[in-house]
Amino acid sequence: MNWKYPLVGAVTFVALHRVLVVTWQTWFHGGGGHSPWFMNTVDSVLLAMAVFFVVNVMVCLLMPQPRVEETSLAACQVVAGAIVPMVVTLATLPEGPGNMAPVAIFIGIIIVVVPSVAGALVGFAVRRAILALRS
């Protein structure tokens, strides 16, 4: 367990949520009257998936000589770090967490973990390609 990966996940989610709050009215058209939250519009879901994909690609590129399973594990650790601010954010939404909160958290994890692992694998492939070109 590397503490850096959960930290990266937590920071990523906090930054993502901050971006949503700032751009909610302009980019997401107010989210249909709902509060800024990454699962309140399709566009914000796609943005979250893109962000976690890119972050995990970056993490993989920065890992020192990783094996493929290590990249996937790192992606899972990134997601684990994102879960904490995700739960806190949902619980502190102005309208409350709602009566589907556990389902929302579960689906939120899936939304984040899929692009994260995919990003890690893509990052691993890119890294191998770069190393192959250099050698």
32 touching other proteins, by CB under 8 A: yes
Amino acid in the structure at residue 66: P
Q: How far apart are CA 23 and CA 83, in angstroms?
A: 22
* Minimum CB–partner distance for residue 72 and other proteins (Å): 18
∠45-51-46 over CA atoms, to 5°? 20
Provide the sign of the torsion angle of the four alpha carbons 13, 15, 21, 25, taken in this order. negative
Q: How far apart are CA 17 and CA 2, in angstroms?
A: 24
Q: Which of 1, 3, 69, 102 binds other proteins (CB under 8 A)?
A: 102
84 touching other proteins, by CB under 8 A: no
Q: Which of 95, 132, 133, 135 binds other proteins (CB under 8 A)?
A: 95
112 touching other proteins, by CB under 8 A: no
64 touching other proteins, by CB under 8 A: yes
Short-list 116, 119, 101, CA closest to 13: 116
96 touching other proteins, by CB under 8 A: yes
8 touching other proteins, by CB under 8 A: yes
93 touching other proteins, by CB under 8 A: yes
